[in-house]
Structure 1
């Protein structure tokens, strides 16, 4: 009886070791994303993110913050992490645009700092910073 238990235990361990490479090969293939443009506009900023890799980018997220202005009167943060406009997988070569208008209408005056980060669960995080100027609802980016 003890020998039968040992044989079953050893067989289970060997089977687990044989299946391990199969399970570990089911990981997500890595890809690369880039922030290719930050552009101003009326009431907000638009950020373009492109999948420059060879595999689909999954769970793409984009965060943009706009801070500054006269007396630091401009403070807007837009986060897209799966529940906002078209946060779907990004195929190779595809471009995703995110607009801060989804977080609110920007209105102020003065110089601002625009910081954007983007990533995916199978891509490294990328960041980009730009300076701009807000004049009422118009955002100009240098």
Structure 2
């Protein structure tokens, strides 16, 4: 298997609510999305999907305990002010602020929010991982 991830599917309880939340953050569903079933987002070299949480669990062969699954999604930005702006935007759209933006022990700046379906997102500046013109991190 090649060392890459091509798709991340987030299980959601209410697709319309999830679409409203991510739409408020500026995300636009890809035309290949299926209304009322699944939403796809082209996120620059990979795809993020929103799909019914129960269907996702059944399709994946796991029991959904309803709790956190041990995964945190991250979005890197270039400046600390952008971290704070995105956290505020997410909270205004319905997220819960998990951790306000602050300097980190590893020399960066980060904060976190939890989307309406319980998926945690970290928003971070990592000076060791500069972003290329497409917004993709380059491991230093």
Higher strand share: 1
Same fold (TM over 0.5): no
* TM-score interval, smaller chain: under 0.3
Which structure has the larger Rg?
A: 1
Higher relative CO (CA 8 A, sep ≥ 6), structure 1 or 2?
1
Give the TM-score normalised by structure 1: 0.24
Give the TM-score normalised by structure 2: 0.24
